[in-house]
Chain A
Amino acid sequence: MTRIAWLVATKDLRIEARSRVLLWQVLPFGVIALLLSGLALGPTQVGNSTAGPGLFYLVTLFVTLLMINRSQALENAPGTKASVATLGLDPAGVFLGKALALTLELWITGLVLLGGSVLFLHIALIGTLQAVPSILVTLTTLAVAGTLYGALTRGGDGPATLLPVVTLPAFAPLLIAGERSFSAALHGGALWEWWVIVVVALVAYTAVGILLYGVLEES
């Protein structure tokens, strides 16, 4: 399982490094979404709003959706699907590999967006740095959950439009937990509850993925 996971993860990352879809399509989208968030806040609010962490996570969620679709589209190209299926890869390994690659991609994207948030939304730098561990764990959970939900919508009618409907309700508690822990790092407040939510979700999604990813393969 770990061998296949590593194989799939390095393959996904190599494709990403080569195609640069993340760099040229996803990141610019994230940055423009952050700028639009600042514009939506209005000139009086944008410099002193407490909405920064929430907007950061909202933008991150949308960016995550694009990245999940991209991650699944790699496997769904005509021909690729059939020939890779004949490799008979261990589904748990494929799940972990894709989740791992998506996690690393999401970490990079998240850190860039975090820099953008500090710049555009005027979030305090020190508090932001303190929030980094919780953000990385939340992004990991988003990637693991996203890999599962991405596989659920793959190959159906309109996977790109189906994905948000299927994924966003599951992302809601992660958004809450992420935003609250970010705010707690900035302004103080309870933290452990949010770690519990994110870590429990991470464990649950990982377990379900390892056990059931094979069930999602097309019959």
Chain B
Amino acid sequence: MIKLSQRLLGPVTLLLLGLTFWLGLWITPPDAVQGNLVRLLYVHPPIAWVALYVSFGTASIASCLYLWKRTRSEVMDRIAHCSMEVSVVFIALTLITGSIWGRPTWGVWWAWDARLTSTAILGVFALAYLALRRANDDPTLRARRGAVFAILTAINVPIIHFSVQWWKTLHQGASVLTSNGTLNVHGSMLWTMLIGFVGFTLLFFWLLRYRYRLEVKRDLKVADTVVEALALRQREGV
């Protein structure tokens, strides 16, 4: 069952993303106010959802599990590392699609809007996580420090969110669900967007899976070089 779902992950992701683009570009109507720009609605919120919640969430949970002694394993460390790396891609895409949307709406590529600013700060956090990992050669130390940093980042998410929110806001409010719980988007637009959400979420897990496998291969290669280095060292002075 697990094998089958792993095998289907790729094709289903491609199908859903293809469907999102087809529905988003050709089937759904342009918006009365925003015109064709509204089509970014099928891409930008799903990507931001993956960047800020799915990938950061996965990295944070995996990091907590790594630090907890009972569940500590290199699997958790790899998951945390790989999802943070995929997160960087999605955060970059969030900023790019947001910027493309912002240019005609706000008249500038970058605005000091609350969500844009906090997303950018989180993006730097993700890059800092990767920089921190690169700076430590010892695998245990790297994993521990990475995990603590990921947890600090998770704690910072609400702090950054509220500080920037209170600082200033230009961004439109919540897009799909309004604060009183009514739906803002209807019909084909809603469906397209929902498919987009599922599609991009699956894309994250698909990328994560491949990145994870790459990491396993790299670790195996490192293990091989360790065996060689050990043999070489033992022959020293003999």
A residues lining the B interface (CB < 8 Å): 148-149, 152-153, 155-159, 162, 165-166, 168-170, 172-173, 176-177, 180, 193-194, 196-197, 200-201, 204-205, 208, 212, 215-216, 218-219
Contact = CB atoms under 8 A, between A and B. Distances in A.
Contacts of A148: 148, 152
B159 A158 contact: no
Interface string B146-169: 011101100110011011101100
B132 interface: yes
Contacts of B124: 165, 168-169
Contacts of A149: 152
Interface string B122-133: 101101100110
B136 A156 contact: yes
26 contacts: A152-B148, A156-B132, A156-B145, A157-B135, A157-B136, A157-B137, A158-B135, A166-B131, A170-B156, A172-B160, A173-B159, A173-B162, A173-B163, A176-B163, A180-B166, A196-B162, A197-B162, A197-B166, A200-B159, A201-B159, A208-B148, A215-B147, A216-B148, A218-B138, A219-B140, A219-B141
Contacts, number: 90
Contacts of B134: 157
Contacts of A215: 67, 144, 147-148
B226 interface: no
B27 to A, nearest CB: 40
Choose among B122, B163, B167 the residue with the greatest number of A CB atoms under 10 Å from its CB: B163
Contacts of A173: 156, 159-160, 162-164
Nearest to A215: B144
B131 A152 contact: no
B8 interface: no
Helix, strand, loop or mixed for chain B's interface? Answer: helix
Interface residues of B, number: 32
Contacts of B152: 148-149, 170, 205, 208
A109 to B, nearest CB: 23
B177 interface: no
Contact of B121 (A153, A172, A194): A172
A208 to B, nearest CB: 6
